[in-house]
Copies of this chain bind each other. A is one copy, B any other.
């Protein structure tokens, strides 16, 4: 059966449906929204897509997103260069920056190890991390990967890789989220929070 949509609409639905997390229904809804939108808004969205793709590159040092050679964090001389936070992608940089807790540097891996899916160290910016970590300049590497299987594997791999180099490797604490009720916590989280319990200062 021929597509029931007129060709330019079907083409747009197909293109939108290739984006991650956009299923066939969302793609239809978005396409109809585009058709109903102001032409100026559509042109601006199309331009933003092309611009972002053409102008944005990865920082040559940490692989964060930037529109010049160095990202705004690597080029900020006021930040502490002796501590490096290793993250999966730029979203995590943004999330950590929002906490205001960290004033060091980042290293973006552009993914997490996932051997079952064939994602090995050579697919990530691991070699670049190793070249960058010099014990005379860097004292601590904080592995800020997600608290899931891929995050665990990546953290363990990096800890084994970096320990011989002579830097301290740490990882984000695992435990109850702030505001998290014990009765609603899953047993793995609760078990880990119990195992990692911290001495209180009286």
Binding site for B on A (CB under 8 A): 4-9, 11-12, 14-16, 18-22, 26, 28-37, 39, 41-56, 65-67, 71-72, 89-91, 93-94, 97-98, 110
* B46 pairs with A6, CB closer than 8 A: no
Name the one of B26, B31, B36, B91 contacting A21, with C-beta atoms under 8 angstroms. B26
* A53 pairs with B39, CB closer than 8 A: yes
B residues near A71, Cβ cutoff 8 Å: 6
B residues near A19, Cβ cutoff 8 Å: 30, 33, 45
The distance from the CB of A44 to the nearest CB of chain B, in whole angstroms, is 6
B residues near A31, Cβ cutoff 8 Å: 52
* B98 pairs with A4, CB closer than 8 A: yes
Give A173 to B76 CA distance when docked, in angstroms. 65
Name the one of B15, B28, B39, B94 contacting A91, with C-beta atoms under 8 angstroms. B28
Name the one of B6, B48, B72 contacting A65, with C-beta atoms under 8 angstroms. B6
The distance from the CB of A11 to the nearest CB of chain B, in whole angstroms, is 5
B residues near A51, Cβ cutoff 8 Å: 8, 11-12
B residues near A5, Cβ cutoff 8 Å: 65, 90, 94
* A93 pairs with B48, CB closer than 8 A: no
B residues near A67, Cβ cutoff 8 Å: 6-8
B residues near A28, Cβ cutoff 8 Å: 91, 94
* B18 pairs with A41, CB closer than 8 A: yes
* A21 pairs with B29, CB closer than 8 A: yes
Give A53 to B54 CA distance when docked, in angstroms. 23
Give A52 to B34 CA distance when docked, in angstroms. 8
* B32 pairs with A90, CB closer than 8 A: yes
| Seed contacts A6-B72, A8-B56, A35-B56; 7 additional CB < 8 Å A-B pairs | A8-B67, A12-B52, A21-B26, A21-B30, A31-B52, A34-B53, A36-B110
